[in-house]
Structure 1
Amino acid sequence: MTNPRYTGRQVWNKQRKREILIDVHDVTLGHETKMTWNPQDTWVWSSEIVNPQIIDEETFTAAQQMLAARGRGRTSHKPHRHRHPYVLRGVLYCGICNRRMQGQRNHGAAYYRCRFPEEYALANRVQHPRNVYLREDVLLPALDRWVGRYFAPHRRTETIAAIAAAQGGDGEDTTSALARHAIAECDRKLARYRAALDALDEDTDPAVIARWITEIQQQRAAAEAQLRQTPRQIHLTHDQITNLVNQLGDHTQAIATADPARKADLYTKLGLRLTYHPAEQTVRAEAHLDTRTAWENGSCPRGDLNPHAP
């Protein structure tokens, strides 16, 4: 009832391809291609009958009008959405333009793509292919071995010592230190204001000093509350770290067989950054063990989308 070819004419431009983000809140998940129907007034009909005519054009047009009057449009089966976690989401960069590569599935396999329109490349004077692809399962085995190399038997002692040293000393973290400094500063001001109250003269308004004292007391109470809410840093002993490392067994195998979503979280927490150079077919891997987030470091987590602009 809705197929125009039954009228015997050939029809073109009925559908078009569109690439839409899988998740607008996480662009690193990449795009998926969907077919979208064009308006009927944009269809292109052949001028002659090219196929055996099953229905005449008047009957076909009347059927479309009846369907439109009933409020029914063209329908299609909506496929069930399956989430495919990308292990390297957010950590893989293109070595040509320094932008993050986006995940894309092709024939059931996970790929990462950097799409760079030709006009954009020309405008920014960048020699960049239209698309740069890297297959995930080609890179992961070597990456897992690289991450697990620090836990090899001949390097395990050195790694455990480095983990223990990375915990730092017994000093406070920055938040606690700032809170204690604020409390000390409030105590200094309160002492000065109380001394001013004791030495009042006729030109000093005691209500003003009392208001100052109230404000400082409120600031001191807020700093004390922040100090109480800040958790104390717990340091593991050398033996505790050794036991945890030994319980994991074969670390390379444990990483290789881990759940993709948990492995992606591990790579993110390791501060992993991978840069793919398509001309050399190489990937440069770096890991920065830093607990600060990308926002705290002053950069956008999506990376610079236009690094070559003035």
Structure 2
Amino acid sequence: MRAQASTQGRYLGGRPPYGYVLADAGPHPNPGKASAGQRAHRLEVDPTAAPVVQRIYREYLLGRGTAAIANRLTREGVPCPSAHDPVRNRHRSGAAWVASAVEAILRNPRYTGYEVWNKQRKEEILIDVEDVALGHQSRMRWNARDEWIFSPTKRHEAIIEDADFDLAQSALKDRGHRDLSLQTVRAPRRSSRPYLFRGVITCGRCQRHMEGSWNNGRAHYRCKLKLADAALAQAGHPSTVYVREDKILPPLDSWLDLLFSPARRMKTVELLQEGTGGTTTESRRQSLRKKLQGCETKIARYREALEAGAGPGMVATWTSEVVAERARLTVALQQLEPADVLTKKELLEVVQELGSLSQTLKKAEPRDRADLYLQLGLHLCYEQENRLIRASIIPEACPTLRVRGGT
């Protein structure tokens, strides 16, 4: 394939870039495949999408950002790439343009008319490094730009002039956009702000986790709608939902004190015993079965996409990822034991140890405090219309709560 790309410049399969469609290029050059009826393909300009690609380059070179371009295209009702070609994008909602899609178009050299191969490679990585029996899953990784293979001449009609493409690459670099082909895999950046309820608090309107936001020297949590969330906006979801962290802490600490106080201790034990019993285990089992059914549905859709003309290599990549996920879920379902329940006596001992929980929380460092909330199984739901926080503790099993210096 390297030789075919560098010497012949043939189209070697895969999904056509947004702005192009596949066209028949005669019998396959491999005699064996040609005798089996396979055909070669080439790229032709899509008269509907190509002007959008040209508009993206034009507006970006005039100084408009990728997010601004995406928002404008969505507001004007221009279908995004996944909505324009839904047969090959059944795994995407197609609701709106996003900045990453605009940037991908700006970085794609195939719009200049050249065929390019070897931009990405497939790597097999362990699903769980601590349990190799779960197997591997396929992941696509970017190759360095000097490893890309370009055709010697232009092989299809160009949508973008070479000069405009080069200017776009310079602008992307000047504006601080990271080139993924030059990046190594790194750990996600950790915020320097100590948000105590990150991963704990959800929006009562949409049930999504609220993100941390630092405003006026205070920690807030917000649920902010994007253009892709038009259905939520129509259902009455505000554009932004905010709640201050320091308004939650005092009543939450008082509730935890009450929950683990001697007068309420036995009632808390009964509730915890119910929460860590068969009901929770059964709900997890049902959740895993639902996810497994979703995997089977995806595999069926991929087969339909293959029959509809999707590239075999791409369909194989999709399928391998879902098969790996199905294997992981199957093992998790098999290992789920309903008998992982603490006795009433054991729960009472835990509750007695947590009797001064709020005092322990107040003395803990912010990051330890946030981790403790997660381990405790704390869930907060903010109902903006009622200005109400609904708090609950939903433990999978009664955890050991650790902070620096002790348990």
Q: Same fold (TM over 0.5)?
A: no
Task: State TM-score, norm by structure 2.
Answer: 0.32
Q: Indicate the structure with greater helix content.
A: 2
Rg comparison, structure with higher value:
1
